[in-house]
Amino acid sequence: MSRSTALMASTIAFVALYLGAVLALGTPPGVNDDGATVVQWLVDHQQAVRWSTWLSTLSAPFFATYAVLMRERLARTAGRFFLLGASAVLVLTSLSAWVLAGLARRPDSLDPATARTLLDVSAYWGPTLTGFTVLTLGALAVAGLRHGRLPRWVGMLAAVAFVEQAVETVTVFGRSGFIAAGGPMNTMLGAGLTVVTWLVAGIAAARRPAATDGDAEPAAT
C-alpha cells in the first residue's frame, strides 16, 4: 500500500470511527444537570459508553497514522507542529474517555456528587484541547495559504477553524449554556469544524506528493 493510499484510508477510517463513537454515546447529561441525573444517565447508557469507548479506541491508531503521514505532506516546521498538536489531541482524548468509561463501570454504586464532579473533569477535555487543535489547524492554514502544500481553499477552511478554536478557549470560563465547558461550542461547533477540516485536509494531502525536511517550502499558487 502506498503512503498516499494509507493516508486516504487512515483519514476516512478515523473520522468514521469517531462519528460512530459520538453516535453510540448519544446525548450526555447537560453541564447543569444534577448528580442524580448524571447517575441515572450512566445507568441507562452503560453499554453505550462502552461501545463509544471501544470505537474511540479503535480510531486511535488510525488517527496516529494520519498524523504521521500528514507530517510528511507538510513542509518543515508546519509538519512538526501538526504532529505535536495531533499527538496531544490523542492523549487528551484518551484521558477523557478513561474518565467516562470508569464512571460507567459501576454506575449503581456512584455517589451523585462524585459522578457530577468527575463528569465535569471529563468535560474540560473540550477547553483544554483547543490549545493543541490550534497547532494542527495553524499548520494546515500555513500549508495551504503560504506553502502551497494543500489547496488554498483547505488553507482558508483551516484558518476559519483556527480562529474558532482560539475563540473557544473562553469555554474555560463558561458555566452554562453554549459556551460552558463541555457545552455545544466544544462538542458540536468546535469538534465538528475541526474534524471536517482534518478530513478534507487528509483527503487533499493524499492526492499530493510528500514534503521532506530538505525540500524548499514552495510559494502558494
Provide the pLDDT for residue 159: 98
pLDDT at 215 over 90: no
DSSP string, the chain: --HHHHHHHHHHHHHHHHHHHHHHH--PPPTT--HHHHHHHHHHTHHHHHHHHHHHHHHHHHHHHHHHHHHHHS-HHHHHHHHHHHHHHHHHHHHHHHHHHHHTTSGGG--HHHHHHHHHHHHTHHHHHHHHHHHHHHHHHHHHHTS-SS-HHHHHHHHHHHHHHHHHGGGGT--SGGGSTTSHIIIIIIHHHHHHHHHHHHHHHHTSPPP-TTS--PPP-
Which residue reads 484558518 in cell numbers?
A: 159
Mean pLDDT of 191-200: 98
Segments making up each domain of the chain, as ranges: 3-206
Percent of the chain with pLDDT over 90: 87
Q: Which cell numbers in the block locate residue 1? A: 500500500
Provide the pLDDT for residue 25: 95
Sorting pLDDT into bands at 50, 70 and 90, what band is 133?
very high
CB contact at 8 A, 158 and 82:
no
149-189 residue pLDDT tens: 999 999 999 999 999 999 999 999 998 889 999 999 999 99
CB contact at 8 A, 67 and 90:
yes
Provide the pLDDT for residue 75: 77
